[in-house]
Structure 1
Amino acid sequence: MPELEGKKVLITGAGALGGLGADTAQLFAQEGAEVLVTGRHAKRGQQVVESIAAAGGTARFLLADLRDLDDVAQLADEAGEVDVLVNNAAGYNVESTLKLTADDYSLMYETIVRAPFFLVQKLAPGMISRRSGSIVNVSSTAASVALPGGVSLYGSAKAALDSLTRYWAAEFAESNVRVNAVAVGPTSTDNITRTFSSLGPGMLEAMAASIPLGRWASPREIAQVLLFLASERSSFATGGVFPADGGKVAV
């Protein structure tokens, strides 16, 4: 039996092919979920939905800009009751601290911290009332391992998300609602690959060499970890920040 049969899943930041969110949406749909795909661009989001439908899955696109609290509230209302929430959307910038702007700060924290907070506030009550649900936050190794270069805002925002993961797990445990995070290492999504390639020749290879497994992850490999935490296979796991980083934090 598919692992998410009969479950409704909302995945933020899933509205573009080649991204982690889209790969996660495709995998979850293959496992029987009704997937709600969100993003800021309707045409690209519809392409994700069409790819899921072509593979026999069920999906719907919900347009939302998670920097806008009205959009966040509308997204929660349109989604209705969900069994699984995957907070995947994120802003990203590789400028150094000295070059970052107030807009950069807002992008990171509004997308990575504020939007998940208010989505959980809206959607967790339904899970609590049913005494069943899983919230999975997509974090990063940058939350716990300081990296040279310009990821200070990104890393600190993901650290805040890790903290919320633990607090929510403690808060909702008595209602059998589980909350976990995945600390993702370098992953070959279109956006991240393009960003790091722009930093100079050999950057992708150098980052791969710093990982014990010696390579970047594919989006599907990370999606499999998210699936595990969304499914009943992880029924006794809550409050954890699970590394999926090829061994990066171990060395």
Structure 2
Amino acid sequence: MSKTAVVTGGSSGIGLQTARRLLADGWRVWSLDVNPPPPHCATPLFMRAEMFSYLACNVSDIASTQAAFEQIQNQTEKIDALICSAGVLRAGRLVDQPPEHIDMMMNVNIKGPWLSTRYSVPLLKNGSTPGHPARVVFVGSISGIRPKVGTGFYAASKAALHVLVGVLAVELADANILVNAVAPGTVATPMICEQPGPEGIGTSFRPSGMSPLGRIAEPDDVVDVILFFLGERSCYVTGTVLPVDGGTRAAFSPK
């Protein structure tokens, strides 16, 4: 019997690649996003209605998130995994950031994963056992560990998300639900590629660029670790934030 996952932010970047990889591995996938999957996803993997469903959902909105999970609950008794990949980045000096940008990052990056977890717990608990626990994986950021000038509030939101990982892991342990996070560095996703240049945002912010390994991450580099957290070899791992940054935060290099 195939496993079932809910992926937020499933129409772009890391979330989209997570959905693609899970479908290829035989998972049933529910994708929650404010936008539908892009046209290039009109492939056999995504067109099988019994394996893939897209639900329009704003994870920062209580009614929207609750309605999405109620719809899922009407069609399945349980889910095996929740992957929270929805996130937004608005660059700028902290003192110059418009309040609406702060509200957006707080609502999507913090409130969104919390709401998604809250409404998914009843489905995650069904069928989970100590030997076969359910999984929650958040997409955090290396900026939540090593903040950067120009994206201070984004970093703060991801640091707060990392705190939620530890608390949720302990609170949900007796329900046999494991909670972990990946903390990527710069990844070749639309969120990074669409950021305006420094002259457009009044800050010196730039993506981290090449890691010590000589490149930035591709989405699959992060998804590989997400799949590890969903697999049988991580049954005793919970409350962990794992950097996936090619060593970027390991030591400062003046190069």
TM-score bracket for this pair, using the shorter chain length: 0.7 to 0.9
Match of 1:75 among 56, 63, 68: 68
Deviation at 1:120, TM superposition (A): 1.1
Matched, 1:52 2:48: no
Question: Among the aligned pairs, what percent are the same residue?
Answer: 25
Deviation at 1:96, TM superposition (A): 1.2
Are residues 147 and 79 of structure 1, via their aligned partners in 2, closer, same or farther at CA, if it must alter by over 3 Å? same
**Residue 187 of structure 1: aligned partner:** 187
Secondary structure of 1:225's counterpart equals: helix
Contact 2:93 2:149 in 1 (8 A): no
Letter of the structure 1 residue corresponding to residue 3 of structure 2: K
Contact 1:183 1:241 in 2 (8 A): yes
Structure 1, unmatched stretches of 5+, are none
Letter of the structure 2 residue corresponding to residue 98 of structure 1: V
Measure, in 2, the Cα distance between the counterparts of 1:212 and 1:172: 36
Are residues 206 and 106 of structure 1, via their aligned partners in 2, closer, same or farther at CA, if it must alter by over 3 Å? closer
- Total equivalences in the alignment: 239
Deviation digits for residues 41-61 of structure 1, max 9, x if unmatched?
Answer: 23x457546463369993110
Are residues 109 and 224 of structure 1, via their aligned partners in 2, closer, same or farther at CA, if it must alter by over 3 Å? same
Per the normalisation by structure 1, the TM-score is: 0.87
Deviation digits for residues 174-230 of structure 1, max 9, x if unmatched?
Answer: 22210000011100013312326x337xx9998334x21121000111111111111
Deviation at 1:30, TM superposition (A): 0.9
Residues 81-230 of structure 1 mapped to structure 2, 5 A cutoff = 81-131=78-128, 132-149=133-150, 151-195=151-195, 198-199=197-198, 207-209=208-210, 211-230=211-230
Match of 2:2 among 2, 6, 9: 6
Are residues 55 and 79 of structure 1, via their aligned partners in 2, closer, same or farther at CA, if it must alter by over 3 Å? closer
Secondary structure of 1:78's counterpart equals: helix
Measure, in 1, the Cα distance between the counterparts of 2:23 and 2:184: 22
Contact 1:181 1:242 in 2 (8 A): yes
Per the normalisation by structure 2, the TM-score is: 0.85
Contact 2:91 2:205 in 1 (8 A): no
**Residue 39 of structure 1: aligned partner:** 33
Deviation digits for residues 124-178 of structure 1, max 9, x if unmatched?
Answer: 13323423310000000010102122x1111111111111100111111122210
Measure, in 1, the Cα distance between the counterparts of 2:234 and 2:189: 26
Measure, in 1, the Cα distance between the counterparts of 2:152 and 2:205: 20
Contact 1:14 1:45 in 2 (8 A): no
Are residues 85 and 165 of structure 1, via their aligned partners in 2, closer, same or farther at CA, if it must alter by over 3 Å? same
**Residue 62 of structure 1: aligned partner:** 55
Are residues 206 and 129 of structure 1, via their aligned partners in 2, closer, same or farther at CA, if it must alter by over 3 Å? closer
Contact 2:149 2:205 in 1 (8 A): no
Are residues 226 and 75 of structure 1, via their aligned partners in 2, closer, same or farther at CA, if it must alter by over 3 Å? same
Secondary structure of 1:248's counterpart equals: coil
Secondary structure of 2:140's counterpart equals: strand
Match of 1:15 among 11, 14, 17: 11
Are residues 92 and 174 of structure 1, via their aligned partners in 2, closer, same or farther at CA, if it must alter by over 3 Å? same
**Residue 26 of structure 1: aligned partner:** 20
Are residues 119 and 204 of structure 1, via their aligned partners in 2, closer, same or farther at CA, if it must alter by over 3 Å? closer
